[in-house]
Amino acid sequence: MEQKKNNFKIVAEKKNARVILPNMLTLIGVCIGLTSIRFALDGRFELAIIAIIFAALIDGLDGRIARLIKGTSKVGKELDSLTDMISFGVAPAFVMYFWNLNSLGRFGWLLCLVYVICVALRLARFNINSSQEPSWKDNFFEGVPSPAGGILVLTPLIISLSGFDYFQLNYNTIVPIFFIVTSFLLISKFPTYSFKKIVIPRRTTIFLLFGIVLFFGLLLIYTFNVIALSAMIYVLLLPISYLHFQKIKKKHENDKIQDEDDDLEDIL
């Protein structure tokens, strides 16, 4: 009898090869998030913030790259959530604890624990809701996403480094307020823009590209000023997103009622 020869494949299947790239980006994001803690331990808070910003940029790219090259996977989805937990939950909490919250003693550590738990609950809810059928609600998140939450709790530190601290803020009061409010927004059902399905007309593409280049150019030159302004703009967008959500929700409810009325048969 002829023995079957084992076929050794040097090159992986196309699907597996496509999965590797986004997962590698996700793992790089984990390394950068953990490195921010190391910077905070050394008192280099500027580099700690920059590391978390880079982790946020990678978090926004890996999913889009995976969908673009058709390399999505269940492992990548779970890995992305674990990365968010470290980069935007644990890392910002440690950075702020080493910068300010350690002066508040046990209460400061309690705020860190509450924030990290809220990030974990927010990610768990997102994983459950992401398996639902697509709808108009996909344009909004339920609560503040974890990357935005990580930046929001860092906002007092960012403001102190940006030079916008003209009023000599009392950070022993401001930082706990940011932690409490952000933790609430993470686990709440407050609708916030997801920015996932933005349609850009072709004639405005050139202006979009110019705006992106200008933003990153300013980010390189005036790093913490731009980050602080971006965080403030995001906070201002929260009530706008709520009102927009309610308007679209009311429109869809009215359309649904109208469709049900049209389906009724006149039996008189």
Instruction: Express each pLDDT in 44-74 by its tens digit.
Output: 999 999 999 999 888 888 777 777 777 677 7
Q: How many alpha carbons lie under 13 Å from residue 157 in its C-beta half-sphere? A: 27
Please tell me what DSSP assigns to residue 196: S
Residue 4 pLDDT > 60: no
Burial class (CB in 10 A: 0-12, 13-18, 19+), 202: exposed
Q: Identify the pLDDT of residue 1.
A: 45
What integer is the mean pLDDT of 114-134? 83
> Which residue's structure tokens are 């968010």?
84
Q: Cα separation of 81 and 249, whole Å?
A: 28
Helix, strand, or coil here: 192? strand
The residue with greater pLDDT, 203 or 157, is: 157
Band (pLDDT 50/70/90 cuts) for residue 11 is: very low
Tell me: pLDDT of 2 over 70. Answer: no
**Highest mean pLDDT out of 12-16, 22-26, 251-255:** 22-26
User: Structure pTM?
Assistant: 0.83
Which residues neighbour 64 within 8 Å (Cβ) at sequence distance 6 or greater?
A: none
> For 14-251, which CATH superfamily applies?
CDP-alcohol phosphotransferase transmembrane (TM) domain (1.20.120.1760)
pLDDT at 266: 45
Given a cut of 60, is residue 6 above it in pLDDT? no
User: Is residue 138 within 8 Å of 196, Cβ to Cβ?
Assistant: yes
What is the share, in percent, of the chain residues with pLDDT greater than 70? 82
pLDDT tens, position by position, 189-210: 888 888 766 667 777 788 888 8
User: What totals of helices (H) and strands (E) does the chain contain, helices first?
Assistant: 9, 2
Mean pLDDT for the stretch of residues 102-129: 91
- CB atoms inside a 10 Å sphere around CB 228: 23
CB under 8 Å to 259, separation ≥6 — which residues? none
Q: Which residues lie closer than 8 Å to 244 by C-beta, 6 or more apart?
A: 191, 193
Q: What is the pLDDT of residues 244-261, one digit of tens each?
A: 888 888 887 776 766 555
Residue carrying structure tokens 């809701």: 129
The C-alpha atoms of residue 165 and residue 163 are separated, in whole angstroms, by 5
Burial of residue 235 (CB within 10 Å: 0-12, 13-18, 19+) is: middle
- Over residues 71-113, the pLDDT tens digits come to 677 777 778 888 899 999 999 999 999 999 999 899 999 999 9
What was the pLDDT predicted at 209? 87
Distance, first Cα to last Cα, the chain: 82
Enter the tokens of residue 51.
């590391």
- The reported pLDDT for the residue numbered 136 is 66
Instruction: Give pLDDT, residue 138.
Output: 72
Q: Which pLDDT score, from 0 to 100, does residue 268 have?
A: 44
Phi, psi for residue 132 in degrees, rounded to 5: -80, 165
On the question of pLDDT at 185 being above 90, the answer is yes
Are the beta carbons of 59 and 89 closer than 8 angstroms? no
Task: Please check the confidence at residue 147 and state whether its pLDDT lies above 70.
Answer: yes
Which of 12-21, 134-143, 178-187, 212-221 is predicted with the least confidence, judged by mean pLDDT?
A: 12-21
Q: Which residues contact 108 (CB under 8 A, 6 or more apart)?
A: 97, 100, 101, 102, 176
